[in-house]
Structure 1
């Protein structure tokens, strides 16, 4: 194997020089592989035997590895996995962003590679013979792999699977698309995707869901085409997590104090799935930006305030902008519940896939800093426009190295330099990588 591809497959060439992507192979190995698909420019194959193994090969911790499509890098040592992700981001910043001189990356933010995922989606299907399949999609397939346990899920979610399976087998109606299990710091919720009108959920099934939720202290939600509604009778259906801001970040004069920012969210909200990395990512963002009470910060793609509200503990003014209205409402409610904010904080809804008239939103005087945390498609429109606000620094949080590199190139063309960057291992055992990049001019 010459190297690993961006998605974590081994890359080799056959006798005619044609590229072959081999699932399950690692860089430097000799393997025997079976061709699965033949294409014009390349072939796709999977390992049938490892002839000479890499020193970085380890035994997968999950019995479903190789069939489940969730964790493609369980056979790669975690330290080697992090180095692979780091080199991949570096390569794309060079080749796509055309950034010739990169600073050395900061140390990667890493946590334990198992037991980290606090939100998961489980597919639900009944076979023709009546057997229930509850699990994740197979690799490169729409088929489901039946699972009993998942080593990357939080333990509070794993323990629910046996009783959840028993519940599903008792239901009268099988019009269920998927289930989502979500863990807050102090509570757990389940969202059931119902494929019919909510009025057609059998009453006895509804009672079974409610009873299961009460037995396991889980808030149960139904999701249909109209949205989300709670099935549980509990008055408090909210989920919540805390972010602790270290004392030196908040106020250098109060070394013995730390601030706790509590954020509530709903089952429909986007959530950073790795709680430990999210906590450290926020602290690193505050550390890199080194803000003061004189600074105005614009937080784009702000969600329900994951970065905005911690920022408002150190900056004088923070404006959070999000395209999903329900998350803007949640962010405002989160801000209203905080009594420790040092600065003014405002949330507004805007389509960030389109140009925004910042002057009409009261930012005609510009801002000191912009934080971007876009989805995988990146922030191409805003990167080309937001420099009109003349920020002295832009902090970009990326979940896709290719779109980060594209947008980094656009920022470079406008006079911004990449002065600091590093990866955050938000999704261990997978090829997905989160990156933080600081640009200044």
Structure 2
């Protein structure tokens, strides 16, 4: 070990970064981000990219191993870009994510909640209800199907996947056989998507050109020979090309996709292409926590910003709130309206489309006063919304659901500056085996800092 310690490329790992890489300092004090390394380990590393402020590297040898290191279950882990943390025991992944999230709050937002909520997590494998797999055709004409590699856009050819549902994973070779047959006949498929619920799985093929009648017959024949005999699920093929949305193809007229929020007696229909959380079980737990944190009183007027197809709006309505849902995509607004009526709470909700990234004080005032607000933005956060909050349009409680700790920290700092108390927050392990961090926070208006708002 002494000889190793003398080497310039041996370091002690003291943290993880937001991409799941080990963080260390080399002999000169320069920060090194090392893929595959864990806190409390000593490793030798190989630099893959050197920059002025930091280096990026891969682990060469783990000289002192963490007790939380495990063997990755997937044989593609070293190359596939789909997962980053399979070498870390699942419960330790949650703890590391919690630490990274807390560090982002302090470093970027310089804020911290009064209470840390217990993390939410469930099964670590075969949880992903929807996924997009890339298609690549080699110079030899061989089709590759899988996720992109860790540091390139090259497709890692896979025959199985540990985070997809088991019944989807086992069909990957059959799907690749179909794609090869299509490619051999001159038909190009750019990518495929899987969408799965408890009863139905949709495979959507995105074609470079409109599929011909010959191609359609080929798809139907493949389906009848391969997927029709499935004992565990009903399957359906959808097709898509150009700028058109995905369309039902074969077999027709099956009951559509949906997910359940059983705690609220809700069934949420959706179509391929609609935004839904990729982990239905975790989504149900997340929604339940959000509704509990909102502490809804009957008749309260509550905003659901970035409402999507009503994932939070409908549970709010079931609890007696008057919900106003705002979303940038018109087709999701229509879906939310339809879902509200199909679940017998249509009188409780009003939805409209608007660009929330262009929110200003005037627009926010036009919405009127809300007792409470739920914000569930994409990775870029809700900066325009929180910056535009001003008296007298300050909700007494805001629940913020985030998929990006950096933008959450930034927006939390704005809310605190405006007079909100950062009451509580915690992480949600929506994406096991990956470095992605979902979280939820509660901000309570104290009414004593109007001058900041």
The normalised TM-score by structure 1 is 0.91
Shift of 1:192: 1.3
Q: Is the 8 A contact 2:424 2:443 kept in 1?
A: yes
> Helix, strand or coil: the match of 2:413?
helix
Do residues 63 (structure 1) and 78 (structure 2) align? no
Equivalent positions of 1:276-425 (< 5 A) are: 276-339=281-344, 341=345, 344-355=348-359, 357-358=362-363, 363-364=367-368, 366-388=369-391, 389-425=393-429
Relative to structure 1, is the Cα distance of residues 280 and 38 closer, same or farther in structure 2, using a 3 angstrom cutoff? Answer: same
Q: 2:423 is paired with a residue of what secondary structure? A: strand
The 8 Å contact of residues 156 and 183 in structure 1, kept in 2 or not, is answered as no
Matched, 1:432 2:436: yes
Shift of 1:18: 1.8
Which of the residues 22, 26, 32 maps onto 1:20?
32
Distance 2:132 2:110 in 1: 37
Give the corresponding residue for 2:231: none
Moved more, 225-234 or 376-385: 225-234
TM-fit CA distance, 1:84: 1.0
- Once the two structures are overlaid, the 10-residue window that deviates more, 297-306 or 4-13, is 4-13
Do 1:67 and 1:145's aligned partners in 2 also have CA atoms closer than 8 Å? yes
Structure 1 residue matching 2:128: 3-state secondary structure = coil
Alignment correspondent of 2:202: 189
Q: Distance in 2 between matches of 1:359 and 1:372?
A: 14
CA distance in 1, matches of 2:298, 2:222: 49
Matched, 1:119 2:123: no
Matched, 1:166 2:177: yes
Cα distance in structure 2, aligned partners of 1:419 and 1:440:
7
| Structure 1: unaligned runs, 5 residues or longer | 246-258
Give the match's secondary structure for 1:57: coil
Moved over 3 A (4+): 210-217, 356-361
After superposing the two structures, state which structure 1 stretch, 235-244 or 142-151, moved more: 235-244
Q: CA deviation at 1:183?
A: 0.6
Contact 1:312–1:345 under 8 Å retained in 2? yes
Partner Cα distance (2:26, 2:413) in 1: 35
Greater mean deviation of Cα atoms: 46-55 or 350-359 = 350-359
Q: Deviations over 1:190-248 (max 9, x none)?
A: 2212223x2xx232222222344454442222222232222224124631111012xxx
Secondary structure class of the residue paired with 1:312: helix
1:44-80: CA deviation from partner (whole Å, max 9, x where unpaired): 1111211111111111111111110111111011121
Of the structure 1 ranges 425-434 and 347-356, higher mean CA displacement relative to structure 2 is found in: 347-356
| Aligned mate of 2:218, from 203, 208, 212 | 208
- Hey, what does 2:149 align to over in structure 1? 138
Which of 75, 92, 95 lines up with 1:80 in the alignment? 92
Aligned partner of 2:18 among 6, 13, 21: 6
Equivalent pair of 1:296/1:315 in contact (CA under 8 Å)? no
Q: Which residue of 1 aligns with 2:107?
A: 95
- Secondary structure of the 1:128 match is coil
Q: Does 1:222 align with 2:239?
A: yes
State the Cα distance separating 1:387 from its structure 2 match. Answer: 4.5
C-alpha separation in 1, matches of 2:291 and 2:197: 23
Residues 297, 315 of structure 1: 8 Å contact kept: no
Give the match's secondary structure for 2:106: helix
Instruction: Give deviations 1:374-421, integer Å, cap 9, x for gaps.
Output: 000000001112445221100000000000000000101111111111
The answer for the alignment partner of 1:253 in structure 2 is none
Q: State the Cα distance separating 1:338 from its structure 2 match.
A: 1.3
Sort the Cα spacing of 1:438 and 1:226 in 2 relative to 1 into closer, same or farther, 3 A.
same
Query: Take 2:92 and 2:251, find their aligned partners in 1: how far apart are those partners?
Result: 48
RMSD: 1.8
CA contact (8 A) 1:189 1:219 kept: yes
Question: Is the aligned partner of 1:232 residue 2:250?
Answer: yes
Q: 1:195 to 1:146 in 2, by over 3 A?
A: same
Aligned length: 421
Q: How far did residue 299 of structure 1 move?
A: 0.2
In 2: Cα distance, 1:261 partner to 1:377 partner: 29
Measure the CA separation in 1 of the matches of 2:297 and 2:338.
25
Normalised TM-score (structure 2): 0.89
Q: 2 CA distance for matches of 1:359 and 1:64?
A: 48
